Amino acid sequence: MRGIGGLRIADASVMPSIPAANTKANVIAIAERAAELLRRT
């Protein structure tokens, strides 16, 4: 993305396999964990 400084993206590609259930909750959990890790640095 050009013109958006400081933008961070977390996506579902870090999951080793696609869960059988809805992936929305998993992606939200991944994003929250990524945000927590970024806040600590």
The pLDDT score that the predictor gives to residue 13 is 87
Nearest CA to 10 out of 23, 28, 20, 2 is that of 28
The pLDDT score that the predictor gives to residue 5 is 87
Q: What's the burial of 40, exposed, middle or buried (CB within 10 Å: 0-12/13-18/19+)?
A: exposed
SS (H, E, C) the chain: CCCCCCCCCCCHHHCCCCCCCCCHHHHHHHHHHHHHHHHHC
The pLDDT score that the predictor gives to residue 35 is 92
Predicted confidence (pLDDT) per residue in 1-41, tens digit = 688 888 888 888 888 888 888 888 888 999 999 999 999 87
The pLDDT score that the predictor gives to residue 7 is 86
Sorted by where each begins, the domain ranges of the chain are: 7-41
The pLDDT score that the predictor gives to residue 1 is 67
C-alpha 41 chain-centroid distance? 17
